[in-house]
Structure 1
Amino acid sequence: MNNLLSVENLSVAYGAGAPAVSRVSFAVGEGSVVALLGANGAGKSSIMKAVSGLMPSTGAVLFNDEDIGSLPARARVAKGIVYVPEGREIVGELTVRENLVLGGYQKAASERKRRIEMVLDLFPEIAEKADRQAWRLSGGEQQMLAIGRGLAADPKLLLLDEPSLGLAPLLVRRVFDRLATIRAESELAIVLVEQNLAVTMRLCDELHFLRGGRIVGHRSAEELKDETARQEAIDAYLGAAAA
């Protein structure tokens, strides 16, 4: 499998303090799902923002073998890298459909319309409320809209930051079921930031564990199907809170 994204010795610092991310390296193959797991403050979101061009960093970020480290966020979106941030950040006063139009603003009108209809087919919960203001949606529906807005841009790589945050378990399962459908029907690659190992394993191929801005461990999802290996990973990298 060819690597779509290669991150090499990535470091991110806020001001003169200790780095939030220190010399992190990982790769994402075409059509694969790679998870970054760790507690709050482990550096996961900083990595996502650096890859998407929203935060300055050092090291190398290669996309389709091209060094994109100097490109602004908008140029990275045009190349196919789309970031869905923690907290959703939808535009509440706009309708569901208008939010999706924003997601596909770089596409030609006909392609944008096709992508929006695809998203509404994938998420019937929000399709029924397409002309409703986004703030009126439930938390789970807002997360579906945030993911759908990212998909409207026709990404090659989707960066998903804590999609389960604040959702009830039933809604988490529903959101991850839709992500699994996307995986099955496309060549979309995903980098998934999560704290929840159980839901992450339903979707991903590889998992990298972070602590203090560094990658401290790596496992394949296949390895973690074994209950003993899974518990060892939790104990070693995530702590009891992740169990």
Structure 2
Amino acid sequence: MSLLTVSDLSVFYGAKAQAVERIEFDVAERAVVALLGANGAGKSSSMKAIAGLIPCTGSVVFDGEKLDGLPARERVRRGIVYVPEGRAVVGNLTVRENLVLGGYQASAAERRERMAMVLDLFPEIADRADGPAWRMSGGEQQMLAIGRGLMAGPRLLLLDEPSLGLAPLLVRRVFERLSAIRRESNLAIVLVEQNLAMTMRLSDEIHFLRGGRIVGHRAVGELRDKAARQEAIDAYLGAAAAE
């Protein structure tokens, strides 16, 4: 049985502006499934709908139970945690205080255990745990945002463009940590990205979005072949995504 099943999901902004049109996909336990596409493809709207942050039509089933109509905080309690694009850390709080915010529903003992795990996973932020978050680099803030998500003890992490605005070296570092999280936990991930190369390093399968629709699907193993990868780029992403 899939951990997450999204069926016939649509998102509207206003009466006529449709951001997502009847998308469907599944996420198995411990799997990493990517939604890949250009700006405006409907990726972030899909994630926010799954997280319960915006209204949608269709169905979201998590661990065999329908989530339709459940508020975001209840979805967090059940194990769905959204890490937004742009990181959204609280700059005037310390790193440690930001992490505590992520674990607000946990007991004090659980927070201590998860804090130790996050700081061990991200030594870059551990060294600055008692300093203000605004002083950190973009890559460090992204690590903090992911760590804050992990503080909630998720079973499914919704990661929205973790490479956004980062230099290539920092992108690689963030994805290395995500790979470590995957190896060492039972966590499943839905990853929203524009970076095909990094997405392939982490994901099991990729759904390609354009204009709010899923226009293609590939298992990552199918894209190891250069010709097959180029075919997918030409069909679903365009030449700008070749890197």
Alignment TM-score, normalising by the size of structure 1: 0.99
Q: CA deviation at 1:69?
A: 1.2
Residue-by-residue CA offset, 1:101-125 (whole Å, 9 max, x unaligned): 0000100000111001100000000
2:22 aligned partner:
23
2:131 aligned partner:
132
Give the Cα–Cα distance (whole angstroms) in 1 for the partners of residues 16 and 67 of structure 2. Answer: 26
Within 5 A, what are the aligned runs for 1:93-172? Answer: 93-172=92-171
Hey, which bits of structure 1, 4+ residues long, moved more than 2 A? none
1:45 aligned partner:
44
Partner SS for 2:198: helix
Q: CA deviation at 1:18?
A: 3.0
Residue identity opposite 2:194 in structure 1: Q
- Structure 1: state its 5+ residue gaps: none
Give the Cα–Cα distance (whole angstroms) in 2 for the partners of residues 18 and 160 of structure 1. Answer: 24
Residue-by-residue CA offset, 1:200-241 (whole Å, 9 max, x unaligned): 000000100000000000000010111110010011101111
Within 5 A, what are the aligned runs for 1:49-68? Answer: 49-68=48-67
1:216 aligned partner:
215
Give the Cα–Cα distance (whole angstroms) in 1 for the partners of residues 208 and 105 of structure 2. Answer: 34
Residue-by-residue CA offset, 1:16-51 (whole Å, 9 max, x unaligned): 123100100000000000000001000000000000
Give the Cα–Cα distance (whole angstroms) in 2 for the partners of residues 208 and 180 of structure 1. Answer: 19
Give the Cα–Cα distance (whole angstroms) in 2 for the partners of residues 109 and 71 of structure 1. Answer: 26
Give the Cα–Cα distance (whole angstroms) in 2 for the partners of residues 79 and 198 of structure 1. Answer: 32
Give the Cα–Cα distance (whole angstroms) in 2 for the partners of residues 161 and 50 of structure 1. Answer: 12
1:235 aligned partner:
234
Give the Cα–Cα distance (whole angstroms) in 1 for the partners of residues 40 and 72 of structure 2. Answer: 23
| CA RMSD of superposed structures (Å) | 0.5
Residue identity opposite 1:83 in structure 2: Y
The sequence identity of aligned pairs, in percent, is: 74
Give the Cα–Cα distance (whole angstroms) in 2 for the partners of residues 90 and 147 of structure 1. Answer: 10
Aligned residues: 242
